Amino acid sequence: MEKNKKAADKVKEQPITYEVYAEMPDDGNRYEVIDGVLELMSPSPTASHQSILSELIDALRQSCKTDYLIYFAPLDVILSDTNVVQPDAIMIHRSRKHIVTSRGIEGPPDLAVEVLSPSSQKRDRLKKRAVYEKHGVPEYWIVDPDSRTLEQFQLDERGNYVLIQLYEGDELIASDKLHCVSFAISRLFADVLQ
Amino acid sequence: MKKKTYEELVKESPVTYEMYANMEDDGNRYEISDGVLELMSPSPLFIHQFICHKMQVMLDGSCRNDFLILAAPLDVILSDTEVRQPDLVMIHLSRTHIISKRGINGAPDLVVEITSEHSLKRDKLTKRNVYAKYGVREYWIVDPSNFTLEQYELHDDYYELLDVYSGEEPVRSHTAPCVSFSMDELVRSIPVPPDQLK
């Protein structure tokens, strides 16, 4: 008992790397590695979460497919050896398609999107935001199903994320970094049943 | 001189504190945003007012020896053309000189905004930039739709998101170390079943 506990503590202490993560036995759960710490992802997303995500992917595909590769979770985005995350959606400009490898995405995508769940507020708003910021993901969107808003963050010249716009109602989403983006925020919630 | 109405003032630019203070009282609340007169949202929802009241009581309970805690409506005059009415402000007792007959003349130590459907953009975007620009050390955004608290701390002229609190996690503050409450404490104190507020 005592011995087991010590072993468990050791696993907690050492930084988890991509190698360790990749070799973990599959227990049916999804994990991320954030700053060397293994984090269990929330229980399976809700129907609302998935409905919003699929509308988002549709909207991005419609106008951005010729310029960007568009992916959705689960897919490993390996930002460093100790930061391996699974954003809900990402876009990678086709000129940078070399970062797509057999392991997943190895480097910062041009856009990362997280759709909030009640259990992921802190991870998405704080931890993953800091990770995307640190690894130079130029644009980060947070979709909040409760308030039906999309918060758009962009890196400023100092490398800090700045909230440059908050979309609500029927407003059209646009980006000076991702020119192809053009859809109404309300579209994302069209099939949310509750 | 006849007092000016909202319709008359809204056309003028820039609107200053003097013009705002002398306008006709039509029962509405206004702010001055970078020299522009802005009508505040319709009367807040029950949950908004309840959280505001309860937070004031809790903050007063643990911080009254160090801070003055005041609730809206109260003018915070950041400049002649920037006048805001935050939901809650905390002013350290060593800085009470910023209090005047008109309201608060300068930056409170900590400002709290409780979001409502109509104020999200204002609270998260505009007011956040304004509070940073005028040197408010700490800014909290409380979201009643999911009972989270976003905590921003001023670094030079830039707000860094320091933490996002929910559940039982105690809210801690560098600006006001006396702060001690959790979002669940707020939730538990709501006197009616949640369904009644939908």
Does A123 reach chain B within 8 Å, measured CB to CB?
no
Answer whether B135's CB lies under 8 Å from B198's CB: no
Indicate the SS3 state at residue B183: helix
Strand partners, A14: none
Shortest distance, CA A97 to any CA of chain B (angstroms): 32
Every domain of chain A and the residues it spans = 43-189
Distance between B195 CA and the closest CA of chain A, angstroms = 14
Q: Evaluate whether the domain defined by A43-189 bears CATH number 3.90.1570.10.
A: yes
Per-residue pLDDT at A188: 97
Q: How far apart are CA A95 and CA A114, in angstroms?
A: 24
Give the span between the Cα atoms of B98 and B104, in whole angstroms. Answer: 6
Nearest-CA distance A149 → chain B (Å): 9
DSSP reduced 3-state for B138: strand
Q: Which residues pair with A114 in a beta bridge?
A: A142
Which tens digits make up the pLDDT trace of A11-28?
A: 565 799 999 999 999 888
Candidates A126, A147, A168; nearest CB to B164: A126
**CA atoms of A84 and A37, how far apart (whole Å):** 10
- Amino acid B1: pLDDT: 64
Contacts of A165 in chain B (CB under 8 A): 125
8 Å CB contact between B182 and B165: yes
pLDDT over 50 at A3, yes or no: no
Segment B31-49, tens digit of pLDDT: 999 999 988 877 788 999 9
The answer to whether B119 faces chain A, any CB pair under 8 Å, is: no
List all residues 6 or more positions away from B16 whose beta carbon is below 8 Å from its beta carbon: B32, B35, B80, B81
Architecture of domain B43-197: Alpha-Beta Complex (3.90)
pLDDT of A131: 97
> Which residue in this structure is represented by tokens 């549709």?
A58
Of B117 and A174, more confident: A174
pTM, two decimals, is 0.86
- Kindly state the average pLDDT of the residues A173-192: 96
Do the chains contact at B161 and A146, CB–CB below 8 Å? no
The enclosing H or E element of B56 equals helix B46-63
Q: Which residues in B142-181 are b (16+ Cβ under 10 Å) and which e?
A: bbbeebbbbbbbbeeeebebbbbbbeeeebebebbeebbb
Question: Residues spanned by CATH 3.90.1570.10 within chain B?
Answer: 43-197
Could you report the average pLDDT of every consecutive run of 10 residues in chain B (198 residues)?
Answer: 84 90 89 90 87 96 97 94 96 96 96 92 93 97 94 93 95 97 95 85
CB A90 within 8 A of CB A111: yes
Length of chain B: 198
Q: What angle is formed at CA A85 by the lines to CA A82 and CA A88, rounded to 5 degrees? A: 170
The pLDDT confidence band at residue A7, using thresholds 50, 70 and 90, is very low
Q: Which of residues 164-193 of B touch A (CB under 8 A)?
A: 164, 166
Q: Give chain A's length.
A: 194
pLDDT score, position B53: 96
pLDDT in tens, A64-105: 999 999 999 999 999 999 999 999 999 999 999 999 999 999
The reported pLDDT for the residue numbered A4 is 43
Q: What is the pLDDT of residues A100-157, one digit of tens each?
A: 999 999 999 999 999 999 888 889 999 999 999 999 999 999 999 999 999 999 999 9
Check: CB of residue A135 under 8 Å from CB of residue A125: no
Interface touch B158/A166, C-beta < 8 Å? no
ipTM over 0.85 threshold: no
Token look-up 């800085």 returns B95
Size of interface A-B (CB pairs under 8 A): 39
Residue given tokens 């130590």 in the structure block: B109
Which residues of chain B neighbour A146 with C-beta distances below 8 Å?
A: 143, 145-146
CB distance A147–B148 less than 8 Å? no
Q: Closest-CA residue in chain A for B151?
A: A126
